[in-house]
Structure 1
């Protein structure tokens, strides 16, 4: 303790001497300062105490020399004075020791208010490196809190906008500049929908947009549903009925008896009562789409088809796990003989017999089937042969036994196709896909082509380069683009891993043009890289959306403004601000 007190006294005497010297003589030269630092104030100092002080001083200097701050200051001085000048490490260390912050218990002047205070372990450092008194420390802490809160508030808005931008990107909406006035008003309405009493005479397309956004936000409750129920409109579209109860569906049909178009998705609480009430009350229904109505029985479906079947022009049913058996489908095919559009997805009880029953629907122009995946190829051939001459749209999804004979039947009987979807086949060959689009192809150029997930499941044939290669590959893609490239708007090649890099480069070289192509999906096509993506941007001037999930060689592609690239983690950072010419 005596040594510490003596050191404090020596430090105090030294500071007084320095202050007096600055007042009288001004700035001292380095040699005089060094002499003053080395001289002892008290000649009568005890030799033992002097030896202890020297030893402590040496330890303190050694500790300073080993610190990062000492090395940093030395490096700065070497840069300022030149590497040829030799620096005195002891002088620099003594200077740092003299300017070091006072220890707890010592007195110091506050950097801000210059008030004398006692240093504690909790004394805060000021902006210039000095210590602060308690009052100034508290004020500085309050200022930092206010700045942090203001910064957090400033940053939160861009994060929210970025999240909305990425959401819009997934929907294909990345138009540069501000949103349209209509879109901004629709979004504002959805934010305050619980405070709105009625929508008034809002156009039907705006109501549909509101239903989309509210369904996406999962806020379409019975109270919000009332805003869409109007007697003067002829359609009701609700994309998410997950929060509606059984009585809400009955209220829809009671309020809108003249409805012609009914589209209710995820209607899990719809039962036989509301469905039969709709058949009894709504006599003008021509278009019906229901999703996930698993509480409706087969008897109710049969009664519905008996009452409304002859007038139905469009029927879309999906996610039915407890109904729609073969007998019900047979009634559907018999009663709904005027159907022009039929879509059946994920109906678990449908089998090959149901597919056979659909051959009776001779008026069909649009057919989508994603049911009974075990259906044989011969049954599919008979279906295509029966319905093909009138079909404009044909979608056969994930049929396990779909093979070359089905493709040959499509080529032979489907002469009016504008949309074709063949997915999930591991039996169709590349050359047969190519022959579907050769010079003898009976149908005109396609507008929509989805040939995704057609590949060989044999992992020993990753590129499908054999003469009898399976899947949609390097022979089929050129044939498709040569046949339909001038008119094609949507192209889905997801998981067609047998398409080679050379083929992609040849047909997306920036010279060949596909003027109508707006939407391309190349996800899980490993041959896609930055060069291919750049070629796609140049070959497709109207492109608005490109999906490249798991295309790991395309992460550095530069993206023109106005194109939604989905699947790249850094897509937002690669958007060009100027023109794409020359890239």
Structure 2
């Protein structure tokens, strides 16, 4: 199709439309000229002129009142940048207007910019990738498929990055999973359709139980799959969906059970614990977390019946365990070796003195019990059992003072291997340094937690490193704010042979250089937690085999 007259060689409906607009003065240059004319009029009205980069602002009203008044302003870099940005925006607006004007309306006949075939324009016609012309339905569909595939690839890449980040948070390696692990995850996914798990071993049973607990999938109908007469150890980490009868099934189907761990067991009642006392004749280890419905008479009855065989007791998150229950525990559990109380709210400092009747303790936890902890009570307990303690946990112990370190732990805890003083903001830097300096009776700690001990600094931690560098396996320094990079360099230079887990989160002196040094100089290091350290970037070169989690660039 050609345009008549003038010998024009313009062909096609698209070119005809462009020529039609140009004849009526509708093009980018005309729009630009009109814009500049409008701007010039506004400047003239405001008395603004520009010569050789100098802007002159004058007010005719002021000139009429007080003679001629002029202000000469040299444009700043910010003004120049703003002016350039405005011109660029005008250019984009011009292109947008032209595109809207020149785009054919639905119902018109066009030639495909790809295959040159005639087609009828619709509201869904796609523009060519070059930006010139439209595409017919078949060509548009082809490109739509390509765009769809690109979106799928982007989504797949995003999911992969998410899985990598999630694996880091779960402290897992990102690699091809074992067939066994794939089967375990598949079983956990379709656990409601499984009739029996069979003889897969306690280790694999525990894996499946952990997955179900994480997904809140441990329910009355699935708990039966884990109950077999021969099983001796059972750990359920989320029992929030189990009713009282399901708890009783554990004792009914597992009479040979020796170790039982139940967390988030808020629906467990007195009748369940009484049933355990009657049926579980081989039980020697219990751990109940969140059993807040169990009352004192029930605890007393349980310890009276099974206390003589218990060697490990862990009770957490309950307000219904007071002095009478503790008295029954110490009277009936003479062979108790491991005792853990965490957030047991009704115990006081006078009650904890009863622990002096447990001379065989090797592991003691009294965490998140501020009102019950005093210097005198802890020191008296350590005088009795400190010489054999290998693990001591006093987390959230802000009511304690440096006396516990210098008068309790240092003189009496020569065999200590695990020390946890998390949230111990009352301990001083000097006292911690004095604890570890020349502590010859102790051969070195293996696991140390000083999280949020915010009054401890370089002196105390450096004394710890010099004392225990050759034995440390796990070290938590999270939120020990006063530390400087000299302590981190000392830790790296000490060649901690066995250090495998290190938490240096929210220590703002730590950056790329520090984590690189730690990963290179600590041969057994497997995990570095670095939440809140903005100086650690994706540039950090971490040795193969070391997982770094908490880095801001590793987003989900």
TM-score range relative to shorter protein: 0.7 to 0.9
Who is 2:296 aligned against?
A: 298
Who is 1:450 aligned against?
A: 449
Work out the CA distance in 2 between the residues paired with 1:554 and 1:127.
41
Deviation (angstroms), 1:105:
7.1
Distance 1:59 1:18, change over 3 A: closer
TM-score, normalised to structure 1's length? 0.76
Note if 1:12 corresponds to 2:3.
yes
Deviation (angstroms), 1:289:
0.7
Who is 1:214 aligned against?
A: 212
Work out the CA distance in 1 between the residues paired with 2:163 and 2:537.
22
Deviation (angstroms), 1:518:
0.6
Aligned match for 1:351, one of 343, 348, 351:
348
Distance 1:155 1:189, change over 3 A: farther
Who is 2:30 aligned against?
A: 63
Work out the CA distance in 2 between the residues paired with 1:563 and 1:168.
13
Distance 1:148 1:413, change over 3 A: same
Distance 1:278 1:109, change over 3 A: same
Match runs of 1:200-349 below 5 Å: 200-321=198-319, 323-349=320-346
Work out the CA distance in 1 between the residues paired with 2:124 and 2:488.
67
Work out the CA distance in 2 between the residues paired with 1:399 and 1:258.
38
Who is 1:429 aligned against?
A: 428
Deviation (angstroms), 1:160:
3.6
What SS does the corresponding residue of 1:13 show, helix, strand or coil?
A: coil
Deviation (angstroms), 1:127:
5.7
Who is 1:561 aligned against?
A: 544
Work out the CA distance in 2 between the residues paired with 1:401 and 1:569.
35
Q: Give unmatched runs, 5+ long, in structure 2.
A: 12-17, 35-94
Who is 2:414 aligned against?
A: 415
Asked if the contact 1:305/1:336 (under 8 Å) is kept, the reply is yes
Work out the CA distance in 2 between the residues paired with 1:121 and 1:59.
24
Asked if the contact 2:125/2:140 (under 8 Å) is kept, the reply is no
Work out the CA distance in 2 between the residues paired with 1:203 and 1:55.
83
Distance 1:16 1:514, change over 3 A: same
Work out the CA distance in 1 between the residues paired with 2:210 and 2:119.
66
Work out the CA distance in 1 between the residues paired with 2:28 and 2:147.
39
Deviation (angstroms), 1:54:
11
Who is 2:553 aligned against?
A: 570
Q: Deviations over 1:318-377 (max 9, x none)?
A: 1113x1112211211111111111111111111112221112111111111114313221
Who is 1:460 aligned against?
A: none
What SS does the corresponding residue of 1:220 show, helix, strand or coil?
A: coil
Asked if the contact 2:313/2:339 (under 8 Å) is kept, the reply is yes
Work out the CA distance in 1 between the residues paired with 2:121 and 2:160.
47
Asked if the contact 2:126/2:140 (under 8 Å) is kept, the reply is no
Note if 1:498 corresponds to 2:498.
no
Asked if the contact 2:462/2:490 (under 8 Å) is kept, the reply is no
Work out the CA distance in 1 between the residues paired with 2:205 and 2:263.
16
Q: Deviations over 1:253-293 (max 9, x none)?
A: 11111111111111111000111001001111001011101
Q: Deviations over 1:386-425 (max 9, x none)?
A: 1101111111111222112111221111121111112322
Who is 1:130 aligned against?
A: 133
Who is 1:478 aligned against?
A: 462
Work out the CA distance in 1 between the residues paired with 2:28 and 2:456.
77
What SS does the corresponding residue of 1:423 show, helix, strand or coil?
A: coil
Who is 1:439 aligned against?
A: 438
Match runs of 1:152-191 below 5 Å: 152-174=151-173, 177-191=175-189
What SS does the corresponding residue of 2:520 show, helix, strand or coil?
A: helix
What SS does the corresponding residue of 2:548 show, helix, strand or coil?
A: strand
Aligned match for 2:403, one of 405, 410, 425:
405
Work out the CA distance in 2 between the residues paired with 1:114 and 1:554.
55
Work out the CA distance in 2 between the residues paired with 1:55 and 1:255.
90
Work out the CA distance in 2 between the residues paired with 1:568 and 1:102.
51
Aligned match for 2:505, one of 485, 502, 523:
523
CA-atom RMSD in angstroms: 3.2
TM-score, normalised to structure 2's length? 0.79
Work out the CA distance in 1 between the residues paired with 2:104 and 2:357.
97
What SS does the corresponding residue of 2:181 show, helix, strand or coil?
A: helix
What SS does the corresponding residue of 1:368 show, helix, strand or coil?
A: strand
Work out the CA distance in 1 between the residues paired with 2:223 and 2:424.
42
Work out the CA distance in 2 between the residues paired with 1:110 and 1:239.
64
Match runs of 1:22-37 below 5 Å: none
Asked if the contact 1:350/1:371 (under 8 Å) is kept, the reply is no
Work out the CA distance in 1 between the residues paired with 2:10 and 2:244.
89
Q: Deviations over 1:192-232 (max 9, x none)?
A: 22222111111111111111111112111222211101111
Distance 1:488 1:110, change over 3 A: closer
Work out the CA distance in 2 between the residues paired with 1:184 and 1:54.
66
Work out the CA distance in 2 between the residues paired with 1:106 and 1:161.
45
Work out the CA distance in 1 between the residues paired with 2:22 and 2:463.
90
- Number of aligned residues: 483
What SS does the corresponding residue of 2:370 show, helix, strand or coil?
A: coil
Asked if the contact 2:512/2:535 (under 8 Å) is kept, the reply is yes
Work out the CA distance in 2 between the residues paired with 1:282 and 1:435.
48
Deviation (angstroms), 1:140:
4.6
Asked if the contact 1:486/1:515 (under 8 Å) is kept, the reply is yes
Aligned match for 2:533, one of 537, 545, 551:
551
What SS does the corresponding residue of 1:241 show, helix, strand or coil?
A: coil
Asked if the contact 2:3/2:10 (under 8 Å) is kept, the reply is no
Asked if the contact 2:511/2:535 (under 8 Å) is kept, the reply is yes
